[in-house]
Structure 1
């Protein structure tokens, strides 16, 4: 009898100890450090590992070879603020509601804030902090400023920099913080605007890729990019081919420079031996328009130059050299990180998160991918909702005009031939699915009006 009671007590103690274990031992890298890097405005088509013939991203490519490269990753939104907030919450922009920098009332503007607009939504950082992680964020400010709610859960959140600051400033700050931790488990969010139109490399461009002699009117400065951005919101822009080439060449220069800075950051981690039990997630929040559809910048459209993004995961326990070609979304970042390090969401968090855990996909489970929904209410200039299906169709519905566009991405990857009139049945089916999705998450899809919600100080006066 005493032996049986002793066994029962031992089993009970073992089960209790297992329940108290904060990290699931079955995870690929239980309790590992996490480094989440945002390459703001990096268009997937300009990444060498994703098909650009120019060697733009050797450091990113090497890290991708150590893990999984998702070749068809799609953003939930085409600009910085709503896309990043979806990373950190695992929900659509329509759910977290941080879709513009300001909420516009008839008599005032109020800064958008996650905790005010969507109280009760928890962030990735909140969860990891609650599980004992030291948490640090080092950003380029502007659209990822802490005032919008990003700093929740962070021990340190650095955004006190000039708007649109790059990795050359944010990465050294991150390294200094890591050195101060003295071996403590950490979550690091590193962000830079190096590819953004409002970022100018230190010392200006060396124009290493520009084919001489370029004698056009452009020099690639933020002021010129700003003029083109605003003009493109009102009308199509007509540029000469050599001007278009110039803008794309200086964009590639910015990518190469950012990749080199990132290489230095990784070298610092290696010197501190912090790259051994660490999950690396590299992503771009969105791409940018370099005149593919006669516009510059991002936010207004849902074309693939904005929506298809970099997404890399490299971690202990994840096989290297994987290229995953089925479609996924960067909405999956939060649940995937939690699964990689063995943090099990509680019932409320499970209910909150709409993204998918991609660990099964990276560990050999077959999948045909996922449909990805996307949206923008950029500056209230437009209200667009989109669906990119797992089998290669893209539908975009502009709510304020009722215009619907349909593209077959397999035959028309650059989205140049709208098939909505030629494929009425497919258009109706996908539009019904699109509207049903947004209604299911509480979106009201009628009575949309355009307006002006400023992103930059010179707007909406």
Structure 2
């Protein structure tokens, strides 16, 4: 290991699927700067958000603990200040305790807004508004439009992401005696899908693929997918056909390419430092986006498009370059990556990713995931990923799925009936895991708790109430 402690830079996007990097196999997308990160280090091709929904995923990143440990399984807007008592210091505070100056630029998604996450410097949309007078969002946020391509009126050089990058570059270039730990957290490609010109016309929808669809009995076995479709106005019956999906995908890709340019500026700033090679960079996303695949949208699903994420780790002075690994890794591991690089490892619920790269530690044998939607029927969903197998358990109705990702990477062939012994083995491992975690709501006597099936109704997403009479909006 280098004598001097490395800088550590986390770069994060929101809702970016794992299959959106050109250097890792998607020839239809343009990501030259994310590709630079691929070439700079190690790309993990089996990386997961173990709790694929916004707030739980971000609590996992800042605590190093699984959702079953933090207690955040859905997007509850609950006060999270107690998490340091139950999980230990947040990551930024842990890095400050290790002698790092710390900064956050961008989205953090924790409640209350004034929560102390341990950063010396925190710059989010309030600071952007104070600097520019612009609102962060310039696109429509009405429920019926949130997933449709939208217009972004701010020029790309002065929008929120450009401002974020300006501030982050300043903080990276700051010449201090302390190494830095920074998190730069971009909101795109989270909807609304409103890339700024010219990124809104980079991709011809006719050259993009149609969504992946299996039998609807498989695609919609998890009742949250059709419930979310109704909530977000994205049902097939509502007009979201293959052509519309490709148009939306073109704008989604455009947002990723726009963020890619900003990432290039971050990487330039790191490389301009005399200790650039001794700067560890992690690039990842909080979860993916179904984007029409499996007849679904958004996240909160254990289909690969929702829960598998980009996960790039580079540290030129210490780690190999341009290497691919298929180890099972997760957002839970980021806490250990940062603290291990700082010289004082603390893994919590994660594994030693840097140790596995160096050959000093064993990769994770299996990975667990969990999520639920608050205030709805008992819809707790859990996943076990082991080898090529993925097992999914849905408490609502006690339904189960099994996929062999080696032979069926698109998860079209649900094969639980063909491999009952494999299902029983993974079911038992999940029950043991939940029992060990004290999750008595979901397991009893080392058996998974099941509930009678109930239809889920999430209602419609409407940002502002529609008027009783159209003319009322004019008042």
Q: Residue 251 of structure 2 aligns to a residue in which SS?
A: helix
Moved more, 203-212 or 131-140: 203-212
What per-residue deviation string (whole Å, max 9, x for no partner) do you get for residues 132-188 of structure 1? 1111011235xx246379742111222334677963232222223344553432110
* Structure 2 residue aligned with 1:376: 371
CA RMSD of aligned residues (A): 3.2
Number of the residue aligned with 2:169: 175
**Contact 2:231-2:459 at 8 Å conserved across structures:** no
**Quick one: structure 1 residues 204 and 374, their matched pair in 2 at CA, closer, same or farther if it must change by over 3 Å?**
farther
Provide the residue aligned with 2:393 in structure 1: 397
* Alignment deviations for residues 189-209 of structure 1 (CA, whole Å, 9 cap, x no partner): 010011112352235853221
Distance 1:297 1:234 in 2: 12
Residues 374-418 of structure 1, C-alpha deviation per residue, up to 9 Å, x if partnerless?
Answer: 1111344532111111x1111111112211111111111111121
What does 1:259-278 align with in structure 2 at a 5 Å threshold? 259-273=260-274, 275-278=276-279
Q: 2:132 — aligned with what? A: none
Q: Give the corresponding residue for 1:406.
A: 402
User: Offset at 1:88?
Assistant: 1.9
Q: Is the 8 A contact 2:199 2:257 kept in 1?
A: no
Q: For 1:372 and 1:148, how far apart are their aligned partners in 2?
A: 32
SS at match of 1:339: helix
| SS at 1:297 equivalent | coil
Name the structure 2 match of 1:14.
none
1:124 to 74, 91, 100: 91
Q: Is residue 97–residue 117 contact of structure 1 (8 Å, CA) maintained in 2?
A: no
In the alignment, which residue of structure 1 is the partner of 2:230?
A: 231
Is 1:292 aligned to 2:282, yes or no?
Answer: no
**Separation (CA, whole Å) in 2 of partners of 1:146 and 1:306:** 24
Change (3 A) 1:320 1:81: same
1:166, 1:199 within 8 Å by CA — same for their partners in 2?
no
* TM-score of the two chains, using structure 2 as the length reference: 0.76
Q: Does 1:436 align with 2:442?
A: no
Contact 1:145 1:159 in 2 (8 A): no
- Cα deviations by residue, 1:286-311 (Å, 9 ceiling, x for unpaired): 11111111111112x11100111111
Report the counterpart of residue 150 of structure 2 in structure 1.
none
Greater CA drift, 148-157 or 231-240: 231-240
Shift of residue 365, structure 1, vs aligned partner = 4.9
CA displacement 1:207-260 (0-9 Å, x = unmatched)? 22124799xxxxxxxxxxxx9955267995353221222122221111111111
CA distance in 1, matches of 2:299, 2:325: 26
Choose which of 417, 425, 432 in structure 1 pairs with 2:413. Answer: 417
Q: d(CA) in 1 for partners of 2:64 and 2:322?
A: 27
- Counterpart-to-counterpart distance in 1, 2:233 and 2:430: 27
- What is the aligned residue count? 404
CA contact (8 A) 1:146 1:159 kept: no
Structure 1 residue 273: Cα displacement: 4.2
Find the counterpart in structure 1 of residue 53 from structure 2: 79
Taking the aligned partners of 1:28 and 1:407, their CA distance within structure 2 comes to 43
- In structure 1, list runs of 5 or more residues that go unmatched: 1-26, 104-110, 215-226
Q: Does 1:139 align with 2:138?
A: no
- Per the alignment, residue 131 of structure 2 pairs with none
TM-superposition CA deviations, 1:340-374 (whole Å, max 9, x none): 231244xxxx6xx0101112221135856431111
| Cα 1:406/1:447, change in 2 over 3 Å | closer
Q: Confirm or deny: 8 A CA contact 1:101 1:453 kept in the other structure.
A: no
User: What is the distance in 2 between the residues matched to 1:439 and 1:453?
Assistant: 34
Q: Where do 1:53-452 residues align within 5 Å? A: 53-102=27-76, 111-115=78-82, 119=86, 121-141=88-108, 144-145=109-110, 147=112, 151-161=116-126, 167-180=161-174, 182-203=176-197, 206-211=200-205, 230-231=229-230, 237-238=236-237, 239-273=240-274, 275-299=276-300, 301-315=301-315, 316-345=317-346, 353-365=348-360, 367=362, 369-381=364-376, 382-389=379-386, 391-443=387-439, 444-445=441-442, 446=449
Contact 2:53 2:286 in 1 (8 A): yes
Flag the 1:118–1:305 CA change in 2: closer, same or farther, 3 A: farther
Question: Which secondary structure does the structure 1 equivalent of 2:327 belong to?
Answer: coil
Q: Separation in 1 of the partners of 2:28 and 2:395?
A: 38
- Once residues 83 and 459 of structure 2 are traced to their aligned partners in structure 1, the CA distance between those partners, rounded to angstroms, is 18
Q: Is the 8 A contact 2:233 2:460 kept in 1?
A: no
The whole-number CA distance in structure 2 between the counterparts of 1:284 and 1:149 is: 23
Alignment partners' CA distance in 1, 2:278 and 2:364: 28
Measured after TM superposition, the shift of residue 331 of structure 1 is 1.2
Shift, 1:44, TM fit = 0.7
Q: TM-score, normalised by structure 1?
A: 0.78
Deviation at 1:269, TM superposition (A): 3.2
